Amino acid sequence: MTTRFAPRIDPDAIVALDMHTHVEADCHGHFALDAELLDASAKYFKAGVDRTPTVERLAAYYRERNMAAVVFTVDASTGLGHPGLSSEDIAAQACEHADVLIPFGSVDPLRGASAVRQARRLVEQYGVLGFKFHPSLQRFAPNDPVYYPLWATLEELGVIALFHTGQTGIGAGLPGGRGIKLRYSDPLLLDDVAADFPGLTIVMAHPSVPWVDTSISIATHKANVYIDLSGWSPKYFPPQLVRQANSLLRHKVLFGSDYPVLTPDRWLSDFGQLEFSDENRPLLLKENAVRLLGLRGVAR
């Protein structure tokens, strides 16, 4: 019998909510990426020794820091030719750590109607609160109408669609980037999706370099679009992003680390050096995500 996830996070008891963390390994020793891509990513990010955390290790890591975290994998089975981790298993395991973890699912958009059915099952039977997509790894253009049945389903189900945008460290430094095409992660493609599905909440992950101005414009223009600030140390954030996150977009930006390639410890330390107001800092670190995920008033 399926165990449906139900959050038990007390928003007032945590210091931050990390919207972007990766499960890179399962309990059977299977990894989300093949060895070549894992090694290239670790080299690009200068990642630490725990490059492939499991759900259990992620729970312990964030519980120790008095934080909560959204956890997910990326199902790029077709695009990469490497079998992905099970979103069903991740969601089921997150149930055991519902005081600190929030599961998102991932489906392979290239699987068409099967992906739509899986997405519905992950929400209705497992209780995931959103989905992670990486268009460059999954090799699809989000604004292609062939994928609109998937976005319509997520809109109907009332869950979040979180999309990788901009540069990726996966494949970086390899010949041809291992065939991974950055143009699929241009945030302008998501403007079409946001316009055509106004009831779908979209989170654009990362500062979207080299398209940061595009992502700022989209988040400003579309009420249903947000930005998570994962994957980059805050000390490298483009100045216009810092300026807007501290003003016009202060209710639209979200803390995300991209752990394990960037630790929340480093992210938060560097963020502390930015000139954010005392009013805006808690919005970015926790309150915007709590509101987006509907965590206030949930049963604990």
pLDDT digits (tens, 9 = 90+) for 263-280: 999 999 999 999 999 999
| Amino acid (1-letter code) at residue 266 | R
Q: Are 73 and 35 in contact (CB under 8 A)?
A: no
Expressed in percent and rounded to 5, the helix, strand and coil fractions of the chain are 45, 15, 45
* Residue 3 predicted with pLDDT over 80: no
Point out the least confidently predicted range of 26-35, 61-70, 81-90, 212-221. Answer: 26-35
Q: What is residue 32's predicted lDDT score, i.e. its pLDDT?
A: 66
Would you say residue 299 lies in a domain?
Answer: no
Residue 5 resides in a domain: no
Question: Is 2 a domain residue?
Answer: no
Q: Which two tokens stand for residue 286?
A: 């926790």
Quote the pLDDT of residue 170: 85
* Number of domains into which the chain is organized: 1
Residue 4 in any domain: the answer is no
**pLDDT tier, 205 (very low <50, low <70, confident <90, very high otherwise):** very high
pLDDT the model gives residue 209: 95
d(CA 151, CA 57): 32
What are the backbone dihedrals phi and psi of residue 85, each rounded to the nearest 5 degrees, phi first?
-75, 160
High-pLDDT (> 70) share of the chain, %: 89
Residue 67 lies in a domain: yes
Residue 220's pLDDT band (cuts 50, 70, 90): very high
| Residue 25 three-state SS | strand
Is residue 1 situated within a structural domain?
no
Please state, in angstroms and rounded to a whole number, the distance separating the CA atoms of residues 230 and 18.
Answer: 9
The reply to whether 186 falls in a domain is yes
CB burial of 188-209 (b: ≥16 within 10 Å; e: otherwise) equals ebbbebbeebeebbbbbbbbbb
What per-residue confidence (pLDDT) applies to 5?
A: 86
How would residue 169 be classed by pLDDT, with cut points 50, 70 and 90? confident
CB neighbours of residue 168 within 10 Å: 21
Mean pLDDT of the 154-169 span: 96
What is the rounded distance in angstroms from the CA atom of residue 186 to the CA atom of residue 230?
16
Residue that the structure tokens 């065939």 belong to: 179
Residue 274: give its domain's CATH number.
3.20.20.140
One-letter amino acid for residue 14 of the chain: I
Residue 1: is its pLDDT beyond 70? no
**Residue 274 corresponds to which tokens in the numbers above?**
């930015």
Answer whether residue 236 is part of any domain: yes
Domain, as residue range, for 269: 11-293
